[in-house]
């Protein structure tokens, strides 16, 4: 992805979630994807899709079960 795309996506994510903690790392991925970081922590990957000139971006985020709060956590109720 181009530098302009990276900057536009970063701005979109930070504006959308009222934050300044999102960052993108194009890092030369062979498939053209970028790493998505929040507050310095890797949280997912962004992929670009160009379907007959219609461009879209998809975020893939894996959440490990061990990172979720306990089911017995009273704050869930």
Higher pLDDT, 12 or 3: 12
Res 74 pLDDT > 90: no
The number of distinct structural domains making up the chain is: 1
Q: Which two tokens stand for residue 44?
A: 């997912």
Listing DSSP states for 7-62 in one string gives: HHHHHHHHHHTT-S-EEEE-TT-TTS-EEEEETTEEEEEEEEEEETTEEEEEEE--
Mean pLDDT for the stretch of residues 65-77: 81
The range of the structural domain enclosing residue 17 comes to 3-76
Q: What is the pLDDT of residues 7-66, one digit of tens each?
A: 999 999 999 999 999 999 987 677 779 999 999 999 999 999 999 999 999 999 999 989
* Per-residue pLDDT at 56: 96
| Alpha-carbon dihedral sign for residues 44, 5, 48, 17 | positive
């Amino acid at each position: 992805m181009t530098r302009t795309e990276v900057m536009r996506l970063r701005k979109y994510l930070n504006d959308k979630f009222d934050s300044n903690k999102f960052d993108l790392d194009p890092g030369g991925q062979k498939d053209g994807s970028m790493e998505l970081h929040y507050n310095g922590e890797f949280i997912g990957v962004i992929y670009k899709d160009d379907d007959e000139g219609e461009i879209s971006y998809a975020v893939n985020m894996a959440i490990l079960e061990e990172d979720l709060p306990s089911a017995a956590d009273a704050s869930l109720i």
